[in-house]
């Protein structure tokens, strides 16, 4: 029996377009003499479809599309079978009235073969808003060349039932345990599992456990591509019954592969790509797909000469190509000469566009207007925010005029403590590095300028002969340059200290006592906690943040604005 793994990048809600993609893949599988094609979770809808699933007309339309797709596959590819992820309607008066299901298309018809049992509601997931849980595990029989195979089916979270590996606690239901008595010949898992740090290794472990426990091969097929703030890394694979990987599909790219159940393959060697290189790949795909799926061909970046905007410029160039990246330098009276020069040289290294607009006259006009009309002299943080908002307004105007996607360049450390200006540097259609702490920004830039990144730079058509970020940008003291001789450390602890406390509070959910045990000063912790709370109203108005960690400050950060202090 030959399985054809199709790691697809769907567009959310494009039922017709996704069906065409599935049909095209069926043609490839037919050419390779495959028996069954596997596509990811909710492959007809794209994941996550969110409240599109509440549109009754779309749910009904999917059935018409399935009918047409079934007939077309049978007409063109004969007895080829293909799995498709759908939102299955439940005909009763209760809500939610959908299952997260997998259907099997064969012989011109389709039928439901599996429904998701465990519906996640942590991090970005909110599946109980849309779906009902199935009660029993799914097993189908498939006869090929007079041999009948019993195939167990799980959908994404149904596989994540080992508390010692995935760490979220014991589920009330355990599909893997329930499959033990079914004496299956192999296990399929259809997933739409987003990328986060080190998640690929967890998937390997959880699948290896299932293979060894059930003593069958596991075929794991995952969605790839970026949808809004989520990035799906693909990385589909096959693990043999002893728990060892025998096939690995590409990371961060559409890919296909065929496997005969009777084929003995060599073990796959461990992927040598580093976690930091995967972060870069994820961010590039995040920008590329967000722009493409939202209809943008070019990006606009406010370039300060600092490390954050430099990194975003490199990511955008890798994603969209140098000819499509437009930068604007907007120096004020406090902008240092070296920052202007650093921005200029970065643009030359990347071969991207740069315009310079001095905001000095605009600043003076604001100051005069306040003074003459209101007898109001803008000073300190007010003055600094005005500078940032002037820049933000100019960038938004250019983005509107030229139909660029404006990329926000703030990092997670700044966003966490509110070291950013609402309607200023927070402006943008997408926050590229908003889930990267400042210390990780430095790590990623150091990697980009090292020989370890050469192959990546080649792949993304970035210059490999020089350091792409540059020593001067990487080694300068962080500064927003909104005042005379201003540095970030004037307002914040050193990032090496700040980021440890932030990670403890945000990702690890530690309280004051735990952080004190880690060696942090109580006064410092309390100050940072206060800053995080105070900045919540800003984060609620931030652009979508590309998610990299288990806890970003985007859709999976559900904290009230008005909160007890």
Res 116: pLDDT: 97
Q: Is the confidence at residue 211, as pLDDT, over 90?
A: yes
Q: Is the pLDDT of residue 132 over 90?
A: yes
* Third-level CATH fold of 278-490+535-539: Rossmann fold (3.40.50)
What is the phi-psi region of residue 198: left when phi exceeds 0, alpha when psi lies from -120 to 50, beta otherwise? left
User: pLDDT for 255-278, tens place per residue?
Assistant: 999 999 988 778 887 666 689 999
Provide the pLDDT for residue 369: 87
Domain 2-258 class in CATH: alpha beta
- pLDDT above 70: percentage of residues in the chain: 97
Which pLDDT belongs to residue 169?
A: 65
Q: Per the structure block, which two tokens stand in for 28?
A: 């490839």
Residue 278 CA to residue 271 CA, distance in Å, equals: 11
**Annotated domain spans of the chain:** 2-258, 278-490+535-539, 493-533
Query: 285-305: b or e for each residue (b if 16 or more CB lie within 10 Å)?
Result: bbbbbbbbbeebebbbbbbbb
Whether the per-residue pLDDT at 163 is higher than 90: the answer is no
DSSP helix/strand/coil, 335? coil
Q: Which residues are catalytic?
A: 41, 116, 156
Mean pLDDT of the region 524-533? 95
The average confidence (pLDDT) of the chain is 93
Q: What is the pTM of this model?
A: 0.94
Distance CA 228, CA 382 (A): 33
Selected residue with higher pLDDT from 370 and 112: 112
CB atoms within 10 A of CB 83: 25
Percent of the chain with pLDDT over 90: 81
Q: What is the pLDDT of residues 309-334, one digit of tens each?
A: 999 999 999 999 999 999 999 988 77
Which pLDDT score is estimated for 564? 75
Read off the pLDDT of residues 227-257 as tens digits, 9 standing for 90 and up. 999 999 999 999 999 999 999 999 999 999 9
Give the C-alpha separation, 535 to 11, whole Å. Answer: 33
Q: What pLDDT sits at residue 16?
A: 97
Rounded Cα distance, 257 and 483, in Å: 57
Q: What is the pLDDT of residue 481?
A: 65
Q: How confident is the model at residue 380 (pLDDT cuts 50, 70, 90)?
A: confident
How sure is the predictor about 84, in pLDDT bands with cuts at 50, 70 and 90?
very high
Instruction: Report residue 53's pLDDT band, with 50, 70 and 90 as the boundaries.
Output: very high
Are 104 and 82 in contact by the 8 Å Cβ rule? The answer is yes
| Partner residues linked to 257 by β-bridges | 5
Mean pLDDT along residues 18-26: 97
């Amino acid at each position: 029996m030959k399985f054809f793994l199709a790691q697809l990048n769907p567009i959310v809600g494009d039922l017709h377009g996704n069906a065409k993609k599935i049909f095209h893949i069926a043609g490839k599988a037919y050419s390779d003499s495959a028996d069954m094609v596997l596509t990811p979770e909710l492959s007809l809808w794209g994941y996550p479809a969110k409240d599109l699933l509440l549109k009754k007309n779309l749910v009904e339309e999917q059935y018409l599309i399935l009918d047409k797709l079934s007939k077309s596959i049978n007409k063109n590819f004969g007895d080829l079978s293909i799995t498709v992820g759908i939102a299955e309607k439940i005909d009763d008066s209760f809500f939610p009235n959908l299952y997260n299901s997998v259907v099997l298309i064969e012989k011109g018809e389709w039928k439901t073969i599996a429904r998701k049992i465990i519906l996640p509601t942590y991090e970005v997931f909110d599946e109980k808003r849309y779906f009902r849980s199935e009660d029993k595990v799914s097993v189908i029989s498939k006869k090929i060349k007079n041999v009948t195979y019993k195939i167990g089916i799980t959908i994404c979270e149904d596989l994540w039932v080992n508390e010692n590996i995935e760490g979220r606690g014991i589920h009330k239901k355990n599909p893997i345990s329930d499959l033990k008595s079914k004496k299956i010949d192999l296990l399929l898992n259809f997933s739409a599992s987003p990328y986060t740090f080190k998640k690929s290794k967890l998937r390997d472990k959880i699948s290896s456990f299932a293979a060894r426990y059930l003593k069958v091969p596991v075929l794991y097929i995952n969605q790839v591509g970026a949808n809004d703030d989520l990035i799906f890394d693909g990385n589909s694979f096959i693990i043999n019954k002893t728990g060892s990987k025998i096939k690995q599909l590409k990371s961060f790219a559409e890919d296909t592969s065929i496997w005969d159940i009777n084929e003995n393959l060599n073990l796959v060697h461990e992927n040598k790509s580093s976690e930091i290189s995967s972060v870069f790949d994820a961010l590039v795909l995040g920008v590329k797909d967000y722009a493409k799926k939202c209809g943008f061909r070019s990006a606009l970046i406010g370039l300060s000469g600092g490390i954050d905007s430099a990194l975003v410029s490199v990511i955008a160039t890798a994603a969209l190509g140098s000819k499509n990246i437009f930068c604007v330098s907007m120096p004020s009276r406090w902008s240092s000469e070296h920052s202007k020069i650093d921005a200029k040289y970065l643009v030359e290294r990347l071969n991207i566009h740069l315009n310079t607009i001095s905001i000095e006259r605009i600043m003076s006009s604001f100051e005069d207007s306040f003074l003459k009309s209101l007898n109001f002299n803008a000073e300190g943080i007010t003055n600094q925010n005005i500078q940032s908002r002037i820049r933000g307004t100019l960038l938004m105007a250019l983005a509107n005029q030229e139909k660029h996607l404006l990329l926000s360049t703030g990092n997670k450390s700044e966003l966490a403590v509110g070291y950013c200006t609402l309607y200023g540097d927070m402006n943008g259609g997408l926050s590229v590095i908003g889930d990267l702490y400042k210390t990780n920004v430095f790590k990623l830039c150091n990697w980009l300028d090292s020989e370890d990144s050469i192959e990546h730079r080649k792949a993304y058509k970035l210059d490999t002969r020089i350091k792409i970020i540059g020593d001067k940008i990487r080694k300068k003291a962080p500064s927003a340059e909104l005042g005379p001789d201003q540095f970030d450390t004037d307002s914040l602890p050193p990032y090496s200290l700040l980021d440890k406390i932030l990670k403890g509070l945000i990702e690890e959910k530690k309280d004051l006592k735990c952080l004190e045990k880690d060696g942090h000063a109580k006064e410092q912790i309390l100050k940072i906690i206060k800053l995080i709370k105070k900045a919540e109203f800003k984060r609620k108005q931030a652009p979508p943040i590309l998610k990299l960690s288990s806890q970003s400050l985007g859709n999976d950060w559900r904290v009230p604005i008005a909160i007890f202090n």
